[in-house]
Structures are given as C-alpha cells and as structure tokens.
Amino acid sequence: MYDEQQRPQPGQHGPLAGFTVGVTAARRADELGALLQRRGAAVLHAPALRIVPLADDSELLAATKDLIDQAPDVVVATTAIGFRGWVEAAEGWGLGEPLLERLRAVELLARGPKVKGAIRAAGLTEDWSPSSESMAEVLDRLLEEGVDGRRIAVQLHGEPLPGFVEALRAAGGEVVGVPVYRWMPPEDIGPMDRLLDAAVSRGLDAITFTSAPAAASLLNRAEERGLLPELIAALHHDVLPACVGPVTALPLQARGVDTVQPERFRLGPLVQLLCQELPGRARALPIAGHRVEIRGHAVLVDGELRPVPPAGMSLLRALSRRPGWVVARSELLRALPGAGRDEHAVETAMARLRTALGAPKLIQTVVKRGYRLALDPAADAKYADV
C-alpha cells in the first residue's frame, strides 16, 4: 500500500522534483502515486471517500431484483469495473444467471470499449457503443430512438451524469438507476484533514481528483471545518486543482474553481499535464551568477535539486516577491509560521536556508536593514518595478 506521504529518494530528479501533490483517489491511488513519485513528486495521499462493497450493498441488491422481476427495455452500462462488479455481486446473491438472462433479452448499450470487453466477458453482446465514449452520444441515440413509455436502466457509478437522467425522463422515459457502487466518507478522516491543512497553508502545489465524489467530499469536509473560503482561495491562486476529466471537475466548477484537465481522461495524461503545469508555474531567477528555480519544497540551483526546510521556503518566497530589494527582518518574521516576535528566529532560519541552498552568496545580509536576493545586475532593470 501507498504510505500517506512519500518523498522521492535523494538523488532522484524528475520534472516534478521539489513539488508536493495531493492524491484524493480511493481507487487506483497506488498507481497514481507511483506515477507521480517516479517523476520526482512528494505525494500526500488522503482518500476523500470509500466505496461501499458491492456484496454488502442493499440498494444494488434491491435494484437487481427489481430488474429481474420487471424487465427494462434498455440497459446502459457505463463502466467496465462497475459492470463486472454488478455481475459478480449478483452471482454471490444467487442471482447471476437470472440477471444475465434478463440482460440477454434487452437492448444493451455500452459507453466505450472497456465496457464492451466486460459485457463480452460475461457472455453477452452489446447492441451498440459510441465511438466517442461519451454519454452525450448515448443520450442522443436514445432520444432519436424515442424513449416515451420505455423503461431504461442506467448503471450509476458514483459520478454525476449531468442532464442525462433528466433528459430521458423529460422525453417520457422511466429511468431506473442501478447504483453499482456508492461513495461514503472515509472511515478515517484524519488524512483528509491533514491534506486540507496542507492545502490552506500552501504546503501543496497541486491536488489531483479522479472522481467527482472525491472532489465533493473534500469540499464538504472543508465546509464542515469552516475552511471552505481558505481552500477556495488556495485553489484559485497557489494550489493547482487537476482533474482527470470534465465530469470530475463539476463540484469544483460549481464553487467557481477553475481546473486543468488532460485531453485524454486517463491517469497517465493527468500526470503528464502536471509535469508541464507545475514547472511552468515555478519562478526562475538569475541570482549571484546562478539560475535559481523556486519550487514547492525545494529549489533548483543550476539544475541541482536542493531540499529546503519549510521555514526556509517561507523566507525565500518572501524575498522572491521583490527580487533584489531589501526585505526587513520584521517582514520576514511575519512570513515565518509560528515564529512569534523574536527576530532571532529569522537569523536561525536564514542560516539554515543558506546551508540548504549550498550557495551562501545567493542571499545578502544588509546590515541593520534585512536581507535581499543577490539579483544579477543584468536582471535589475527587469525587476526594478516588481
């Protein structure tokens, strides 16, 4: 299993080195975490939900019995894992063969190739599948066929199907939901709370979402704790929300949060998108003859990754907001979390920062005034009005 938080080992360097990424997934979290870590990211894993086991789901059992007793005209299968799980759960209840017999006698629509594979593995054959893997195309076909007076079973999988059920009912169809798996909050809420705390304190550079229920669960938990405004602000400015697809992004968009999404709605493209976005957001400065790139919890000095303690990163970010300008000790003290009023804390954190950077001349001490980044002379004009 994936640890709650893992950091890349010393010597590793990838496009996500120096960045911390939150993972909210319940399913395939190990896979996503491994993909991120192989590219250098530190991963904070906090499942935002858990899945009700199919065999224990009384709602699915009731829906299955209902469909066996009263045949639908159409069944829409939306996910491969959901369809396989439904058939396996029915077999466990002693309803496997009656369910398959019922499915053989109806119009069976598969959302995409993976679902088609699951249907065929069960000994069935789909009647039609859209080339786009889009539920909108499935809806168009059903409406063109006409649904007035027809009974349509739709395999639900925890994701919202915006407008799908409503459009069928408005056209006169009777829609029966098959809740193939349902989401609930995690049994241990601690990891999600730690992820929220890291997000609002800007200890994360990005949060990944692979399902709409996970996004909704995180937002709901933030609201319960009174942290929703702070979380929304973080997602607007400092913490990149990355969603596997547009449906996953709906709960965030409803709160006014813009997200990034890959063109192909898969984990691999999601990770590749982060590999492009996060380094592009990092600030690079020419300082004391070096190229310094400030990332989430580390700094690249001439391409060499230098991990920096949190207090040091706070100081460095404060200095980089006005590169080349003197920043007073009192202002730097305010940037240090929990430092109180002792300006000696600034000197201690600054000494550790210089050691971590491995190039002490990057930061100059200005006697009786404060500190400044030793911006290269050629860059002074560029940053003079920052």
Q: Which CA distances in Å does 127 have to 79, 110, 112? A: 16, 8, 12
Average pLDDT of 360-382? 82
Which is higher by pLDDT, 4 or 299? 299
Output the pLDDT for position 2.
Answer: 41
Q: Please check whether the domain covering 283-383 is classified as CATH 1.20.1200.10.
A: no
Closest CA to 319 of 308, 307, 328: 328
Fold of 5-49+186-281: Rossmann fold (3.40.50)
What is residue 172's three-state secondary structure? Answer: coil
Highest mean pLDDT: which of 29-38, 152-161, 221-230?
221-230
CB 285 within 8 A of CB 321: no
Residue 275 has pLDDT above 60, yes or no: yes
The pLDDT tens digits for 170-185 are 999 999 989 887 778 8
Query: What are the backbone angles phi and psi of residue 317, rounded to the nearest 5°?
Result: -65, -40
The pLDDT tens digits for 180-218 are 877 788 989 999 999 999 999 888 999 999 988 899 999
Q: Where in the chain is the domain with CATH 1.10.10.10?
A: 283-383
Which is higher by pLDDT, 19 or 162? 19
Output the pLDDT for position 54.
Answer: 73
Percent pLDDT > 90 in the chain is: 59
Output the pLDDT for position 343.
Answer: 74
Residue 382 has pLDDT above 60, yes or no: no
For residue 19, give the amino acid letter.
F
Mean pLDDT of all residues in the chain?
A: 88
The pLDDT tens digits for 23-82 are 998 878 899 999 999 999 999 999 998 877 677 788 899 999 999 999 999 999 998 888
Q: Where in the chain is the domain with CATH 3.40.50.10090?
A: 5-49+186-281, 54-181
Which is higher by pLDDT, 23 or 386? 23
Output the pLDDT for position 35.
Answer: 94
Q: Please check whether the domain covering 54-181 is classified as CATH 3.40.50.720.
A: no
pTM of the model: 0.71
Average pLDDT of 317-321? 89
Residue 381 has pLDDT above 70, yes or no: no
Output the pLDDT for position 162.
Answer: 66
| Rounded Cα distance, 349 and 116, in Å | 59
Which is higher by pLDDT, 4 or 90? 90
Output the pLDDT for position 372.
Answer: 93
Concatenating the DSSP letter of every residue in 303-315 gives TEEEE--HHHHHH
Output the pLDDT for position 378.
Answer: 67
Residue 12 has pLDDT above 70, yes or no: no
Output the pLDDT for position 163.
Answer: 82
What is residue 97's three-state secondary structure? Answer: helix
| Rounded Cα distance, 346 and 349, in Å | 5
Residue 10 has pLDDT above 50, yes or no: no
Output the pLDDT for position 9.
Answer: 43
Element (H, E) at 177: strand 174-179
Q: b/e for 105-120, b at 16 or more Cβ within 10 A?
A: ebbbbbbbeebbebbe
